[in-house]
Chains A and B, each alone.
Chain A
C-alpha cells in the first residue's frame, strides 16, 4: 500500500461527500416536480403517451406500470437482437444474436444488471448498442430511482396507498438527471480519448508485423450512462480495462466516481423527502463505513499479493523497478489502488463494470466484491435499488430494536407491524433463495459443471459469483465460467428477473402500506434513527443478515481457497 494510493482513495471519498448534498437537493426538486427547465419536452411526452402528470397512483398501479414497461421493453429488445442482421447500423455485418444470449441480454439490461456473456465488439451492432442496450441503461436506472422515490413518498405521507406516478417519475428521472449528466460525462470522456464514432472496424499492422482488427463505435455515450446508471455493461469485452473505453487515469477517475454519484445523492434526497436530513446522513454514514472497510480490506490483500508467487521468485512488492507491485489481473495504467477502489465501488453499487479482472485477485481481494454484492448492494448501491435496499435494512433494524425493548417498532413516525415486516422479509429472503438455489443446482447438475474452468473452491466461487452477480443485478463477472450455454444463459437471465422484480414488488407494496398509516409524533420510547448507535446497529444487522445467509457458501469457496493458498495450493 502506498501514500499515493491512499490519497486517491481519500480524494474519491471526499469528493463523493462534497457532491452528495448538491445532487441530492437537485433530485428533490426533480421528483417533487418543482424543476421545470425541460417542461416543454415533458409536456410533449405526456401528451403523446396519454399521461396525466397530476394523477397520484395507488401502489398496485405503480407496480403494474413498472412491470408492464419492463415486460414490453424486454420483448422489444429480444426481437431486435434476433433481427440485428437485417437492421441498419451494422457495418461489421454481425449476425443475429443467438436466442439464448438474446434472452439473457434482454433480461439483463432490462433489470439494470448488464451481465454480458458476449463480447460487445463481435456480437452487437451499433444499432443494438444504441437503441436497445443504451435505452435500457437509461430506463432501468430511471425505474430504480422511481421505485426508491415512491417508497420514500410512502414513508413521508399519509395518502391511502398512493405513492406517485410511475410514468412521470420515469420521464423526470431520465430527462432531468440521467440525460444531462450522461451528456456532460460523455463529452469529458471523449476529451480524454474514449472513442465515439460510426466508423468501420480498422485493420492495423502491429509492431511485430501481425494484422490486428481494432473495433470502433459510439462508445463514450454508452460508457457515460453505463457508469451513471450503475448499469455496467461494457461496449467492449474487457469493459473499462479497454483503452478505447477507459483511456486515461482521469477518465478512470471520472468513470469510477460517476458510478457512486447518483446513489450517494439519492440518500440525501431521501432525507429531504422524509423531512429528516439527519437520518439521510445516518444512512450515508453506514454506507460509507462499509464502503471504506471493503476498499481497505481489498487494498491490503492485493498489495500483499500471493505468497506462492513471491516464493517462486515473482516480484510482487512495489519497488523502484516494479512500481506497480502485485499487478496480476490489473491494468498498468491504473495500478492496485484504482483497481481495488473500482472493484469495491462497482460491487457496492449494482454496477458491475470492471477495470481489472476479479478472478485474478487474491482470494480475499476477490471475497470483498462477492460479499459486497451478497450484502444486497445497499452500500450506496444501484441507482434507487441501493437506497430502497438500505431502507429495508433500516426497517429491519428498528424492528429488531423494538423487539429488544418490547415496543411496537416505528420508522420515521410510521408504526411497523406484521404486514410491513412480511414485505421486508419477502425482500430479504428472495435474494439468497434465488442465489443459493441456482448455485446449488449448478454444482450438482452436469450442465452446470460443464461450464467450469477451475476445480475446487475456486470453481465454486465462480458459480456462486455468477448467480450472486445476476441476482444482485450487478453484472460483474468473476470470469472463469463459460456462461454461453443454454443452461447458464437461461438460468442467469431468470436470476436477473427474480433479483429485480421479485424484490421490487414487496418494496413498492411496503411503500403503499406505510402511506396508509398516520405519522405518530416521536415519543420517549421511539428508537432514534439519527444517532451513531443506530448506524452501528444498522451495520451490524446488514453484516449479520449477510453473514448468516452466505457464510457457509463463502467458507467452501474463497475462504477455504485463502487457507489452501497459504498451505501452498492454487486452483
Chain B
C-alpha cells in the first residue's frame, strides 16, 4: 500500500518542479526592469 504512496509522492514532487519551471519563466517575464537598458 505504501508503495503507491511513495510513487505518488515522487510524481507529485516532479509535477511541482515542472510548475516551478513555469513560475521561474513567469518571474523572468514579469520583471519590469528585465529589458536591456543602455
Contact = CB atoms under 8 A, between A and B. Distances in A.
Interface of A: 60, 63-64, 67-68, 70-71, 74-75, 78, 82, 99-100, 102-103, 106-107, 408, 415, 417-419, 422-423, 426, 490, 494, 497, 501-502, 505-506, 509, 512-513, 517-518
B3 A419 contact: no
Nearest to B20: A505
Contact of A64 (B6, B7, B11, B21): B21
A59 to B, nearest CB: 8
Contacts of A422: 27-28, 31
B36 A99 contact: no
A99 B6 contact: yes
Interface of B: 2-3, 6-7, 9-11, 13-14, 17-18, 20-22, 24-25, 27-28, 31-34, 36-37
A505 B13 CA distance: 13
Given A418-B31, A419-B27, A419-B28, A67 B21 contact: yes
A502 B33 contact: no
Q: Max chain A CB contacts within 10 Å: which of B7, B18, B21, B27?
A: B21
B36 A60 contact: no
Given A419-B31, A422-B27, A422-B31, A517 B6 contact: no
Given A64-B21, A505-B20, A509-B27, 19 more contacts: A60-B22, A67-B18, A68-B14, A99-B2, A103-B9, A107-B10, A415-B37, A418-B31, A418-B32, A418-B33, A418-B34, A423-B27, A490-B9, A494-B9, A501-B13, A501-B17, A502-B20, A505-B17, A512-B28
Contacts of B25: 60, 509
Q: Max chain A CB contacts within 10 Å: which of B14, B24, B32?
A: B24
Contacts of B10: 71, 74-75, 78, 103, 106-107
B11 to A, nearest CB: 7
Contacts of A417: 31, 33-34, 37
A370 B4 CA distance: 35
A89 B22 CA distance: 43
B17 A67 contact: yes
26 contacts: A64-B21, A71-B10, A75-B7, A75-B10, A78-B6, A78-B10, A103-B6, A415-B37, A417-B37, A418-B33, A418-B34, A419-B34, A422-B28, A423-B24, A423-B27, A494-B13, A497-B13, A502-B17, A505-B17, A505-B20, A505-B21, A509-B21, A509-B24, A509-B27, A512-B28, A517-B36
A102 B28 contact: no
Given A60-B25, A415-B36, A100 B17 contact: no
B29 to A, nearest CB: 8
Contacts, number: 80
A433 to B, nearest CB: 14
Nearest to B5: A99
A421 to B, nearest CB: 9
Q: Max chain A CB contacts within 10 Å: which of B9, B11, B37?
A: B9
A100 B1 CA distance: 12
B3 A82 contact: yes
Contacts of B21: 60, 63-64, 67, 505, 509
A494 B5 CA distance: 13
A161 B9 CA distance: 31
Contacts of A64: 18, 21
Given A71-B11, A417-B31, A102 B6 contact: yes
Nearest to B6: A103
Contacts of A408: 37
Contacts of A497: 13
A494 B28 CA distance: 27
A68 B14 CA distance: 8
A221 to B, nearest CB: 28
A106 B10 CA distance: 10
A505 B6 contact: no
A284 B17 CA distance: 32
Q: Max chain B CB contacts within 10 Å: which of A68, A417, A490?
A: A417
Contacts of B18: 64, 67
B13 A506 contact: no
Contacts of B20: 502, 505
A55 B24 CA distance: 23
Contacts of B13: 494, 497, 501
A71 B31 contact: no
Contacts of A518: 36
B3 A71 contact: no
